[in-house]
Amino acid sequence: MAVTQLTFQALRHRFLWRLRAPSSPGEIRRTERWLASARVFLALSALVAIWRDPSEVNNSVWASGLLAFYIAQGVFIILLLRRRQQSTPAFRLMVHGADVVWPAVILTFTTGQSNPFFLFFVFVLAAAAYRWGLWETVGTAAAEVVLLWVESFLLSLGFAEWINRILLSQHWPLMHIDAVAFEPKRLFMRSVYLIVMGLLLGYLAEQQKQLRAEKAVIARVLGKASVESGLTGTLQDIAGELISMYGATSAVMASQEANNYRVFLGEIRAAGGVAPVFRWLDSTPSDKETFLSESSAHASFAWRSDSHSSFRVIALDESGDRLRSASADYALRLAQRRDFHSVMSVAFIFGREWWGRIYLFDPTLTGETEEELRFLQELVRQVGPAVYNVYLLRRLRMRAGAVERARFARELHDGAVQSLIAVEMQVDVLRRQAANDPAAVANELGRIQGLLREEVLKLRELMQQMKSLDVDSRKLLGFLSDVVERFQRETGISARFLSEVEEVEMPPQVCREVARIVQEGLVNVRKHSGARQVLVRLGHGDGNLNVMIEDDGRGFPFSGRLSQAELEKMNKGPLIIKERVRLIEGDLTIESNPGRGSRLEIRVPQKREATYGQ
C-alpha cells in the first residue's frame, strides 16, 4: 500500500512538474517528424536485411508484407505531419500504440536470440522517452513485455498451427512463426532487457527534459524583469510567475536597503483567473524579527507536523547543501502573523545595497523538496541581476530627478526670485518718487517691464524642461518645428528649422533626448549669445542623424573647432548638452568664432537605444 502511494505521488509530481514548461506545438511537431523519418528509415533497413538474407524471417512472405505495410504507414504519417499544423495528443497516442504492437508482431517471424529486428523495441522505447519521459517509457516497456508473454501463451496453446491450417486450406503461404523464440526461458531475458532499457532511456530523457524545463522557466521569469515596468511592476510579474509555477496561495517579499533601517514588505495573492496585484504593506517594528531574522538557512521549506502545533523544516545553506540542524523558529513567528500549512523561503542579496527574503505560502512541490529548494535558489540567482539592474535604474532616476529638481530650484532662486525681489524694491522706490518726478517713473517702469518679460521667458523655459515629452520617431520633426517657431515668437530672434530627412528611425528615448538637446541649445542662444538669427537643421549621413544649431551671436570663449573629447579635456562647452549627447552615444562638435557666432553639430547613431529615457 505504501509503495503504491509513493508511486502515485511520484507520477503526480512528474505531471505537475512538466506543467511548468510545456512543450510548444512547434517543438512537438518537429519531434513527430523526426520520429516518423526514423521509423521509415528503420523499416527500409529491415527490408534490405530481409532481401539480403530471407532466412532472417524464415522466408515468410507475410513478414515482408508486414514490413512493406509498416513503411507505407510511416510515409503516410510523414505526409500527414507535413499537411497538419499541429499534432494532437490523440494522434500521438494512436501512433505510439501502433509502434508498441508492431515489434511484438514482427518478432514472431524472426529467428535467433539476437536478431536485428529487436531494434524495433529500442525504437519504440526511444520514441516514448523522446515524446514524454521516465514513467511513460517504463510503461511502454511493460506493455511490450505483456504483449510478448501473451504471444508466448497463445503459441503454447497451438495458435500458430491453427493459423497455418487455415492458410493451408485457402492455399495461401504459411506464416513460418518461430515459436522457439517465445519459450519462457528465452523470453525472460528479453523482458529484462526491455525493462532495464526502458528505465535507462526514460531516466536520461527525464533528466534532459528537466534541464530544458529549468532553462525555459528561468528564461520566462527573467523576461519579466523590465525597465519599462519599473521596480514594482517587475516584482509583481516575477512574484506572480512564482505563485503560478508553485501553486502557492500568496507570496511575501521582505527587503531592506543598506542606507535604510526600514523593512519593506510587499505581498501578492493568487486571484484565480485575474492577474495578481503586488501591493506594498505598512511596515511595523516587528517586521525585521519576523521576516528578516538572521539565519544560516539560505533556502528552506517548513510544514506543520501532525500535531499542527510545531513545524518540521528542511533547509539548505548558500551552496545548496542540506543543514542538519535547521531551526523552525522563523515558521513559528510567521504563524503568529499568517495562517498557512507550509511555507518555502529563499534569501537574496543584490550587491551591498539590497537584501531580503521571498516567502511562498502553501506551495505545491512537484519533486523532491531539496531539489525544489535548489532550483528556487538557482532561479533567484539567475533572475537577481536583472531585478538588481531595474533597482539600480530606479535609484539612478530618483537621483537624476533630485539633481534636476535642485537645478530648477537654483534657477528659480538665482533668476526669477532674485529678479522679483529687485523689482519689488524698485517699485517701492518708484512709489515714493511718483509725486516728485513723473518722467523718471515712466522710464523706470519701462525697464521693469523688460525685466519682467525676461523672467517670464525664463519661467516658460523651465516649465518646458519640466514637462515630460511624448516624442517618438513619427513626431520628432513636427515637435522640433514647433519648438523653433515658438522660440522665434517669444524671443523676437529670427529662427528657422530645416530638415533634409523625411523619416527618422530612432527609439523614443533617443528622440526625446534629441528634442531636449535642441530646446537646451535654443535656451543658451537666448541667454548668452545675443544673436539676431538662429538656424536648426536636421540631416543624415553615414548612418547618423545630424543635428546642427547655428547662430550669429557672440560665440563661445574659444576660437576654432573642438570635438567632444577636446571639450571634455578643456572643460568647455554646454554641460547639459554634453551629458545628453553622451546618453545617446552621440558625438558633439562645436565650432566657435567669437563675435561672429557659433555652430553645434551632433551626430546621433540611428536605431540605437539610449542609456535611459526620461
Local structure of 274: helix, strand or coil: coil
Local structure of 551: helix, strand or coil: strand
Residue position matching grid coordinates 566657435: 592
Q: In the numeric block, which cell numbers belong to residue 92? A: 500521438
Side-chain half-sphere exposure of 34, counting CA atoms within 13 A: 12
Round to whole Å and give the CA distance between 222 and 56: 56
Mean pLDDT is lowest, of 291-300, 494-503, 605-614, for 605-614
Q: Strand 560-563: give its sheet, edge to edge.
A: 494-499, 533-541, 544-551, 597-605, 587-593, 560-563
Q: Is this prediction's pTM over 0.85?
A: no
Tell me how crowded residue 28 is: count the other CB atoms within 10 A of its CB: 17
E-state strands within 200-260: 250-257
227-394 shares its CATH topology with 468-614: no
Q: Which of 519, 504, 514, 523 is nearest to 583 (CA)?
A: 514
Query: pLDDT confidence of 537, banded at 50, 70, 90?
Result: very high
Using alpha carbons only, how large is the chain's radius of gyration in Å?
A: 39
Q: In the numeric block, which cell numbers belong to residue 588? A: 558633439
pLDDT surpasses 70 at 402: no
What pLDDT was estimated at residue 7?
Answer: 37
pLDDT surpasses 70 at 466: no
User: Average pLDDT of 270-278?
Assistant: 77
Round to whole Å and give the CA distance between 211 and 226: 25
Residue position matching grid coordinates 533597482: 391
Name the pairing type of β-strands 544-551 and 597-605: antiparallel
Q: Which of 320, 269, 326 is nearest to 295 (CA)?
A: 326
Tell me how crowded residue 191 is: count the other CB atoms within 10 A of its CB: 18
Asked whether the CA dihedral 125, 130, 132, 133 is positive or negative, the reply is: positive
User: Average pLDDT of 411-439?
Assistant: 65
Residue position matching grid coordinates 524495433: 120
Cβ proximity of 493 and 553 under 8 Å: no
Asked whether the CA dihedral 579, 583, 584, 585 is positive or negative, the reply is: positive
Q: In the numeric block, which cell numbers belong to residue 76? A: 503516410
User: Average pLDDT of 307-317?
Assistant: 84
Q: pLDDT per residue over 580-604, tens digit each?
A: 888 888 899 999 988 889 999 999 8
Residue 236 has what DSSP assignment? H
Mean pLDDT is lowest, of 3-7, 262-266, 444-448, 506-510, for 3-7
Among residues of the chain, what percentage have pLDDT more than 90? 10
Q: In the numeric block, which cell numbers belong to residue 454? A: 525676461
Containing 359, the helix (H) or strand (E) segment is: strand 354-361
Round to whole Å and give the CA distance between 118 and 96: 17
Q: pLDDT per residue over 351-360, tens digit each?
A: 777 889 999 9
Bridge partners, 562 (sequence order) = 590
Among residues of the chain, what percentage have pLDDT more than 70? 78
What pLDDT was estimated at residue 13?
Answer: 43
Q: In the numeric block, which cell numbers belong to residue 504? A: 527618422
E-state strands within 51-173: none
pLDDT surpasses 90 at 40: no
Distance of CA 567 to the CA centre of its chain: 41
Distance of CA 301 to the CA centre of its chain: 26
Q: Does domain 227-394 have CATH number 3.30.450?
A: yes
Round to whole Å and give the CA distance between 342 and 336: 14
The CATH classification number of 468-614 equals 3.30.565.10
Mean pLDDT is lowest, of 374-388, 468-482, 512-526, for 468-482
What pLDDT was estimated at residue 103?
Answer: 80
Q: What is the 3-state secondary structure (H, E, C) of 44-93?
A: HHHHHHHHHCHHHHCCCHHHHHHHHHHHHHHHHHHHHHHHCCCCCHHHHH
Round to whole Å and give the CA distance between 574 and 557: 12
What pLDDT was estimated at residue 437?
Answer: 65
Name the pairing type of β-strands 494-499 and 533-541: parallel
Q: pLDDT per residue over 249-259, tens digit each?
A: 999 999 888 77
pLDDT surpasses 50 at 9: no
Q: pLDDT per residue over 89-110, tens digit each?
A: 888 888 888 888 878 777 777 6
Residues in the chain: 614
pLDDT surpasses 90 at 361: yes
What pLDDT was estimated at residue 392?
Answer: 75
Cβ proximity of 40 and 78 under 8 Å: yes
Distance of CA 201 to the CA centre of its chain: 32
One-letter amino acid of 88: T
Delimit the domains of the chain by residue range: 2-220, 227-394, 468-614
Round to whole Å and give the CA distance between 40 and 80: 14
Query: Mean pLDDT highest for which of 308-312, 364-368, 529-533, 606-610?
Result: 529-533
55 CB-near residues (< 8 Å, 6+ apart)? 111
Containing 371, the helix (H) or strand (E) segment is: helix 369-411
Q: pLDDT per residue over 227-247, tens digit each?
A: 777 778 888 888 888 888 888
Residue bearing the bigger pLDDT, 404 or 145? 145
Q: Rounded to whole angstroms, what are the CA distances from 343 to 218, 314, 338, 483?
A: 21, 11, 11, 58
Q: What is the 3-state secondary structure (H, E, C) of 377-437?
A: HHHHHHHHHHHHHHHHHHHHHHHHHHHHHHHHHHHHHHHHHHHHHHHHHHHHHHHHHCCCC
Round to whole Å and give the CA distance between 424 and 491: 24
What pLDDT was estimated at residue 14?
Answer: 43
Q: In the numeric block, which cell numbers belong to residue 560? A: 576654432
Residue position matching grid coordinates 519504440: 124
User: Average pLDDT of 388-415?
Assistant: 68
What pLDDT was estimated at residue 4?
Answer: 40
Residue bearing the bigger pLDDT, 458 or 112? 458
Name the average pLDDT for the chain: 79
